Chains A and B, each alone.
Chain A
Amino acid sequence: MVVRGAAHVVGHHIDTDVIIPARYLVTAEPAALAAHVFEDLDPSLRARLAPGDVLVAGENFGQGSSREHAPIAIKAAGIAAVVAISFARIFYRNAFNVGLPLLECREAHAGVREGDVLEVDFAAGTIRNITRGGALYQGQPIPAFMQRLVDAGGIVPYVRAQLGSR
């Protein structure tokens, strides 16, 4: 899978409270959640997101609460992939479960600037920065087990298959 889109760069340790504040967790409706995504981090960010864009983050993206509303809000705001130096573990699982692909990469965060056009290749684990002369950042390909979950179509079909094989 390859995703091509404009980058939006955020910092380290972005927590789920600033991704989607709990005061909005009175619904699980993706569009309603997306309306407030990153509101407390940067009130202007939401308006700059376009379908297919790529979020580039630092260390420990998605730390904190287990709210699956966080990756749902990011995805519903149009983000097609998140690239980070590292991810918090519950967010990592949740993102794949809701169909928001993640890529771990040490180098991209330092090299990418807001608005750069990126090409994220999940199978190869690479990010190409089209804006900056095709600079290539090597990340971690999705682990084999997560890839099987993605190939199965997510956690729901995965569970259906497990139940079927009993």
Chain B
Amino acid sequence: MGLTITEKILAAHAGVPSVRPGEIIDCRVDFVFANDITAPLAIQEFEKMGVARVFDPDRVAFVLDHYVPNKDIASANQCKITREFVRRHALPHFYDIGRAGIAHVLLAEEGFVGPGDVFIGADSHTCNHGALGAFATGVGSSDLAAAMALGRLWLRVPETVRYEFRGRLRPWVTGKDLILAVIGRIGVDGARYGAMEFAGETLRDLTMDERFSITNMAIEAGAKNGIMEPDERTLEWITPRARRPFTVVRSDPDAAYADVRTIDAGALEPVVAAPASPGNVVPVREAAGVRVDQCFIGTCTNGRIEDLRTAARILAGRTVHRDTRLLVIPATPAIYRQAMAEGLIQIFLEAGAAVSTSTCGPCIGGHMGVLAEGEVCVSTSSRNFVGRMGHKTAQVYLANAAVAAATAVTGHLTHPADVMGALVGA
């Protein structure tokens, strides 16, 4: 019996010829990182472990992306712990405000993760990197500390379910809609403990930006990792960026899957996840008309250049509705610069949007756009739990960037075609 891409990568890193779902393995890790919220705890635990150095300074990164520029004294003190640790250990891969972006987008862009890697982050959306054909998963701070100390981590081998997307996407349907549609079908624990392997002809036409937004949200179905087999487009994207040699791994034709599910992607319409669960997925048209106080385009799910281009196409020559606020946050400085070079930032500013420096922004409701009691937000992020973006009665609809931009123009939840005309394709 053959192995899935996830099993092959894990076997190679555990130094064994084969692994089986359910098995506990001790696994070599290629790269680890923590952010400004998870790093202080990881550092505290690391220091208790009585180890003088991290396993390999070249394979550790710290990215300050959540509460920077520091929003208050407490968050400044937290960041100071990380800043001092990095200096004390002379760690080369440290990203502070100005050079930092959202870790998941930044670390991929900077080439720290490649096909075939085992990539561990103290942040649940680390599964993002599976779009590159890597095994990537999120852990808590103590596990990250263990990986920082040992260069290894214990893992339970997940069983894999393969999701095959068929058909060509309709206008305004994106990778975000594909993953939301899957989560809507299987539920927020539909892939709990498992690996989600995404495949099928639909993916071939998707840019890497859209592919990342799919693997990014595997955690919203409870998965350990989301993964795609690398193709030419993957290699085109990673080759000029990769900092280390990488290995292209593919699933065996006779790999054992827990299940194979086919999704008719060509039949999908743009969707939203309505409050207050990423699994509460309905077509945009069914939720259309809801009055919206704030739209947010950004995050590790949809703050990439493709998302900004799509939003700009809708916002060009239009303005944000007077009763709605639009926040745009490019995920990394490189994306910000690219958006400037392409004139997208100009379009956003002329439309009346607020454009902020590259951070997580209001995604976790800490600063930069926190919602008031009862407010409604359409967000390109990945989570809409109670209290996630502000007051516990605030309501968050998760959507793609086109829906968020169209909604910002009309002030109520809107299908992009209703702003752009039905015949203008995405």
Contact = CB atoms under 8 A, between A and B. Distances in A.
Contacts of A15: 383, 385-386
Contacts of B189: 13, 59-60, 63, 86, 88
Interface string A139-166: 0000001000000001110111011000
Contacts of B387: 17-18, 21, 39-40
Contacts of A131: none
B38 A88 contact: no
A86 B191 CA distance: 12
A60 B49 contact: no
Interface residues of B, number: 52
A159 B146 contact: yes
Contacts of A63: 188-189, 222
A21 B123 CA distance: 15
B124 A64 contact: yes
Contacts of A145: 24, 154
B356 interface: no
B283 interface: no
B142 A68 contact: yes
Contacts of B75: 26
A102 B142 CA distance: 17
Contacts of A23: 365-366, 370
A71 B65 CA distance: 23
A93 B78 CA distance: 23
Contacts of A109: none
Contacts of B364: 17, 22, 25, 65
A86 B139 CA distance: 18
Given A41-B386, A89-B193, A163 B51 contact: yes
A8 interface: no
Nearest to B390: A23
Interface in B44-73: 44-45, 48-51, 66-67, 71-72
Contacts of B49: 156, 159-160, 163
Given A26-B67, A28-B44, A68-B141, A60 B149 contact: no
B365 A22 contact: yes
Contacts of B140: 66-68, 90, 93-94, 97
B352 to A, nearest CB: 27
B310 to A, nearest CB: 27
A63 B205 CA distance: 32
Contacts of A75: none
Contacts, number: 136
Nearest to A166: B150
A128 interface: no
A93 B122 CA distance: 12
Interface string B122-153: 11100000000000001111110110011010
B50 A13 contact: no
Given A13-B277, A40-B386, A90 B365 contact: no
Interface string B15-42: 0000000001000000000000110110
Nearest to A22: B364
B162 interface: no
A17 B388 CA distance: 6
A44 interface: no
Contacts of B370: 23
Nearest to A89: B193
A21 to B, nearest CB: 5
A142 to B, nearest CB: 13
B304 interface: no
Given A90-B140, A93-B139, A156 B72 contact: no
A158 B124 contact: no
B392 interface: yes
19 contacts: A17-B386, A17-B388, A18-B385, A22-B388, A26-B67, A26-B72, A28-B41, A41-B386, A60-B222, A64-B219, A66-B123, A67-B37, A67-B38, A86-B192, A93-B143, A94-B140, A155-B143, A156-B48, A159-B145
Interface of B: 24, 37-38, 40-41, 44-45, 48-51, 66-67, 71-72, 74-75, 77-78, 122-124, 138-143, 145-146, 149-150, 152, 154, 188-189, 192-193, 219, 222, 224, 277, 364-366, 370, 383, 385-388, 392
- Which 7 A-B residue pairs are closest in the complex by CB-CB distance? A26-B74, A94-B140, A40-B387, A22-B364, A97-B142, A68-B140, A60-B189
Given A59-B189, A60-B189, 11 more contacts: A13-B189, A21-B387, A22-B37, A22-B366, A26-B78, A40-B386, A68-B38, A94-B141, A94-B142, A155-B145, A162-B152
